[in-house]
A and B are shown apart, each in its own frame.
Chain A
Amino acid sequence: DGGITQSPKYLFRKEGQNVTLSCEQNLNHDAMYWYRQDPGQGLRLIYYSQIVNDFQKGDIAEGYSVSREKKESFPLTVTSAQKNPTAFYLCASSIDSNYGYTFGSGTRLTVV
């Protein structure tokens, strides 16, 4: 079955560490996205990529980095520069801009 897989489901980070969240899709979608979800704030766009080897900053890109070396993969690194990283992170993909996103099941990141 085609889908989008995020791993790990839960991640704990110590202060000052970088961590990388994985996102893989086998839907042959060109576009991929990373969103952050905080309670009562909806979804906020971190980065998106419309094509391999290209990506754009979203609304809250500071403290995050991404790469898009393969069509199937769009990993997100949460760097030590991100001051408040505890959140639920959602990866999504889409075949084009009109037919909606397919979301992964999310990664819950907690700073300890």
Chain B
Amino acid sequence: GEDVEQSLFLSVREGDSSVINCTYTDSSSTYLYWYKQEPGAGLQLLTYIFSNMDMKQDQRLTVLLNKKDKHLSLRIADTQTGDSAIYFCAAASGTYKYIFGTGTRLKVLA
């Protein structure tokens, strides 16, 4: 079946940039999403990118999409301690069912 993969952990120092990577298998994915989950809470939609785009920037967040390699990344500039959370990548192919990655736990060191 279709799959979305992420590394499990990332640790960065406060003020540095964080880059969270994701690979997906469904080449028909039309939208790709990044969600943030804080401890004990639901998921919050951070940003999304349509498959005909290469890049999308939204304040401190930059999403890069390499459709040929089916690779998605989320860059967080000037990472703060409040950015510590689990980040999920998700892929949708025009249906109501999304495929979520396992999540990357970002730890920001002061």
Q: Which residues of A contact B (CB under 8 A)?
A: 6, 31, 33, 35, 40-43, 45, 48, 50, 58, 90, 92, 94, 97-106, 108
For A35, A43, A48, A106, the residue with the greatest tally of chain B CB atoms inside 10 Å of its CB is A43
The answer to whether B30 touches A98 (Cβ under 8 A) is yes
Q: Mark B12-43, 1 if CB is under 8 A from A, else 0.
A: 00000000000000000011010100001111
A103 in complex: contacting residue of B44, B94, B102, CB < 8 Å: B44
Q: Which residue of A lies closest to B41 (CB)?
A: A105
User: Which residues of A sit under 8 angstroms from B44, Cβ to Cβ?
Assistant: 103
Q: How many residues of B contact A (CB 8 A)?
A: 24
Could you list which residues of chain B lie within 8 angstroms of chain A, going by C-beta atoms?
Answer: 4, 8, 30-31, 33, 35, 40-45, 48, 88, 92, 94-98, 100-103
Query: How many Å from the CB of A52 to the closest CB on chain B?
Result: 15
